[in-house]
Amino acid sequence: MSTAKPRAWPPRTTRARTTRPRPPTKQTAQIPDAVTSHYTCLLDDSGIMPLIDDELGPRSGPAGMPIRAVLVCLMVSIHHSGKATLADAWRLAAFCLSAASREHLGLDADGPPADDPHACLADNRCFYRAFDRLTTLLDVARHDRRTRLPQHQADLLAAAWQDDDPGHIRKRDLLQDIVTALVLTPVRWSKGRGHLAGFRGDVGIDTTATPVFARPPRTRRSTGELIASTEITAGWHHSAGAGQAEYGYSATLTVAARTRSVLGSFPQLALGLVLDTPHKRIGANAITTLKPLSTLGFPTAFAVVDRAYTDQQPAHFAQPARELGYRLALDYKVDQRGVQGSAHGALLIDGSLACPLMPDRLATATTGLDDAAIRRPSEELTALITAREPYLLRLKQNANADGAIRFQCPAAGTSPSLTCPRFDRLHQRGPLRPAAVDLTDARQRAAHLAAKPRVLPPQPDLKAGELPKICRQHTITLGKDDLGHLDKFRQDLAYLSPTWIGTYKSVRANTEGINGRLKGHDLDLGNPKNRLAHGRVAQTILVALLVTVANDHFLDQWRHTQQPPDGADTSADVLEITAEQADRMPPPNRSRPPPIP
């Protein structure tokens, strides 16, 4: 038996005791009145409460807790903790607001006694019931969200979110109007103070996964019956490049972005939000986010999207986006690159109309290339893309009221980009008179016809009546339906050209940056534990509140970095604000206190 003595523990010193980790305290810090007032002003200025009150109408019985107070407390909870849970929002409302803030929100000034569990439970139930009134009011297919229904019953309820019933359409539109009004309120404030003076109208559109805490459908072992999820309209969101799908919803976000050629700075804000079933109505949801921007007076420039939107039917995305005034910058899948079709004899090559006699080596430069070769183009590919430019049809006239666009043959006009014997023969254009050229002037050398590419028609060439329309005329008119389903591939920049790269990659970086900030440390849209309430309406409202508070944070952070500490807001591009709106808006300087740690 060993007689060795056990080693003694080190002595408990004062320093060791002070460095021990301490469990977090249950008591929450007091919320400053300035923060509560700020988000109360934001909610009131959004104008959603009159919409809710009109839909709610007169109700018998006790009034209950105001819905306005619940929404404000949810935003305050998101601001301080990043969580949009009713439990955290009620705790802040009950124990962390001052008497003046509670009274201003229509709550009891004293609040429930902390030492009375029955009073706290009653107040908590009132808080939950107020949010339940809102979700019941806007729900298209109300059902018990605590029970997992058989899949065939859940499918009948889920169909109400996409059918043509007038009552269902009205409720869906009302819910979307509330979401849009919330998200755009910080944007209107930013524009009214001149912060978006540098915004030129370039937007990025993307869908991001919004997982839910509910479990996906499963088969019951005892009966073999398929049981639906409590989120009956949720689905599996598959992200490009992600190995594992996420069960929940897809949030379509439109982001204020900038290209490389844009100077100045402005806050990168979310300009629109739509929550929907994954991979459903992708193009229509994008158009829904773009339509309200015209009411704010924003310019329209490029709409940059990924390949999910390129696959949409032209009537679902490309054509409505162009009707709103946006030009498109697109990317393609591997099997979509190269020659995509033709119209009036002109080839559609990587989204651009080109001369039908473009050399095959140039027309097929991107055919079959994988994504790695496109993201990092080689010198040979860059040279081929540059050599395509003289063969591309030039825009002669923008779209008219019917959506028709005129394009000009590259060999026509006073400054042709190439020479074409077929064009000279058909249009009886003789050789130009020789002119003196200063060989030391690079511009004169490049403008001479001898320096331009020469088209080589087949020998013997086709007869005049057999030639395509683009060769018989100086210009062609491209109608809205001339390309058919291939119109979804047409874009307004030459694919992989320096201008396309400066537009597409910059805007996509802004879009992914916003997605990353929304799923960051402070605010995490991708964590379903931050949105525990069940139901399509509840998830839509909570996601809208998260994006609204995120917009407010983005704006505040931009002002801290772009404006001097005591600098006033710029007066450029200021909206006309009524006296009533001015009273509700927060002060223009940086007077709002930072969040409490």
Dump pLDDT digits (tens) for 240-258.
766 688 999 999 999 999 8
Q: If you count them, how many residues does the chain have?
A: 597
Summarize pLDDT for 59-78 with one digit per residue, the tens.
Answer: 777 778 999 999 999 999 99
Dist CA 471 CA 346 (whole Å): 9
pLDDT at res. 49 = 94
pLDDT at res. 480 = 87
Q: Hey, CA dihedral for 439, 444, 449, 455, is it positive or negative?
A: positive
Q: What DSSP assignment string belongs to 327-343?
A: EEE----GGGSSEEEEE
Whether the upstream peptide bond of residue 292 has omega within 30° of 0, thus cis, is no
State how far the alpha carbon of 96 is from the alpha carbons of 41, 350, 530, in Å.
19, 58, 20
pLDDT at res. 4 = 61
Inter-residue contact 61 to 77 (CB < 8 Å): no
What is the value of pTM for the model shown?
0.86
Inter-residue contact 31 to 88 (CB < 8 Å): no
Phi, then psi, of 340 in degrees rounded to 5? -105, -20
Summarize pLDDT for 96-117 with one digit per residue, the tens.
Answer: 999 999 999 999 888 888 888 8
pLDDT at res. 9 = 55
pLDDT at res. 310 = 94
pLDDT at res. 587 = 43
Inter-residue contact 382 to 370 (CB < 8 Å): no
Q: Provide the 8-state DSSP code for 454.
A: B
Dist CA 249 CA 233 (whole Å): 8
Alpha helices per DSSP H over 105-207: 117-138, 151-158, 166-192
Q: Provide the 8-state DSSP code for 522.
A: S
531 alpha carbon, distance to own chain's centre: 20
**Low-confidence residues in the chain, pLDDT < 70:** 1-28, 241-243, 429-435, 437-451, 563-597
State how far the alpha carbon of 60 is from the alpha carbons of 50, 56, 107, 134, 142, in Å.
19, 11, 20, 16, 21
pLDDT at res. 261 = 79
State how far the alpha carbon of 140 is from the alpha carbons of 144, 196, 436, 555, in Å.
13, 37, 76, 34
pLDDT at res. 399 = 85
Residue ranges per domain, the chain? 27-138, 147-330+491-563, 340-431+438-483
